[in-house]
Amino acid sequence: MVSIIPEITRESVVYLIKEGKRADGRAFDEYREVSLETGVINKAEGSAKVKLGNTQLVVGAKTQIAEPFSDTPKMGVLMTNSELLPMAAPNFEPGPPDENSVELSRVTDRCIREGKVVDLEKLCIIEGKKVWMIFLDIHVLDYDGNLQDAAVLGAVAALMNTKVPTATVENDEVILDHEKMIPLPFNEKALMCTFAKIGDELVLDPSLEEEEIMDARISIGMRADGSICAMQKGGKKPITRDEILKAVNIAKNKTEELRKYLE
């Protein structure tokens, strides 16, 4: 997964940023073109396809009835998984998820879980015995930077798109009515904004080229009311307190902007 960036690329990107410009002409706080399509996989109970510039991924939601975890007997189960498919980049390898893939799915999971996107308590059918279990699979098809924001947007959209059969309980048995499909109990459209720190600047929605030379990365998950539900700093260089607060500030408008694609 090591990718060698020519020093000259690094220098030119950094130089541009210093000049207030980005290689693709965007403003520092501008997303690339966003495209969101839902219901793209008929066999999934919910699905969404996201394009962020050339970055492309599909999120599929599969539901099944399962036992709840013993420490949360009244709550449905959400499992978030991601695969950085070898098709998506020349340096992605087949095999079990590496640390980048694990981080992507865990941060997505935290944003959705802590942002209370779905009301997991309403997914309980029989306390301690039967709950809905939702598998969210993030399938990365084309990698051109900023998977994190695309993954959260796709995950929220797929959950909004998901329908399950009505479940009723008779004599301790669960009866599913596939004629009456109902949407998941939906709470919040928590979304995530990611910035790359390059030199002294923060740039939103880093492209692959920017990610490869960035100093640090900060992702901010926000609810519609502007409260924070998740954050993750990445990268091998530090970031300052003031940069973090600045990123939080920008994220308010930018998650709002992304949220419009969910309408």
Partner 1 sequence: MIKITVESDLSTGTETSARADGRAFNELRPLKISAGVLERADGSAYLEMGGNKVLVAVYGPRELHIRHMMQPDKAVLRCRYNMAPFSVDDRKRPGPDRRSVEISKITSEALTPAVFLEKFPRSTIDVFIEVLEAEGGTRCAGITAASVALADAGIPMRDIVVACAAGKSNGQVVMDLSEAEDKEGEADLPIAMMPRTGEITLLQMDGHLTGEEFERAIDLAVEGCMKISEEQKKAIKERYGD
Cβ of residue 171: shortest distance to partner 1, in angstroms? 26
**Smallest separation (angstroms) from partner 1 to the CB of 129:** 20
Neighbours of 155 (CB within 10 A): 31
- Taking every pair of C-alpha atoms in the chain, what is the biggest distance, in angstroms? 71
Distance from CA of residue 103 to its chain's centroid? 11
Q: Whose Cβ is closer to partner 1: residue 104's or residue 203's?
A: 104
**Least Å distance between CB 114 and partner 1?**
5
As given in the structure block, the two tokens for residue 145 are: 């930077």
Among 39, 165, 199, 235, binds partner 1 (CB under 8 A): 235
27-40 as b/e: b if 16+ CB within 10 A: ebbebbebebebee
Q: Which stretch binds partner 1 (CB under 8 A): 148-156, 169-177, 179-187, 230-238?
A: 230-238
If the CB atoms of residues 154 and 172 are measured against partner 1, the closer one turns out to be 154
3-class DSSP state for residue 184? coil
184-213: contacts with partner 1 (CB under 8 A): none
Judged by beta carbon, residue 35 or residue 64, the one nearer partner 1 is 64
Please give the C-alpha separations between residue 72 and each of 66, 130, 157, 185, 252, in angstroms, as whole numbers: 13, 12, 25, 18, 32
Is there binding between residue 94 and partner 1 (CB under 8 A)? yes
Check binding of 246 to partner 1 (CB under 8 A). Answer: no
Q: Which DSSP symbol is given to 8?
A: H
Residue 74 near partner 1 by CB under 8 A: no
**Cα separations in angstroms, 62 against 34, 65, 168, 187:** 25, 10, 20, 19
Residue 219 and residue 209: Cα distance in Å, rounded?
18
Query: How far apart, in Å, are the Cα atoms of 243 and each of 13, 42, 202?
Result: 20, 43, 8
Q: Which of 13, 57, 58, 123 binds partner 1 (CB under 8 A)?
A: 58
Closest to partner 1 by CB, 237 or 260: 237
CA of residue 81 relative to chain centroid, distance: 11
Q: Report 99-158 residues binding partner 1 (CB under 8 A).
A: 99-100, 102-103, 105-106, 110, 113-114, 135, 137, 139, 141-144
Binders of partner 1 among 149-188, rule CB under 8 A?
none
Residues interacting with partner 1, by CB under 8 A? 2, 41-44, 47, 54, 56, 58, 60-62, 64, 81, 83, 85-90, 94, 96-97, 99-100, 102-103, 105-106, 110, 113-114, 135, 137, 139, 141-144, 218, 223, 226-241, 244-245, 248-249, 252
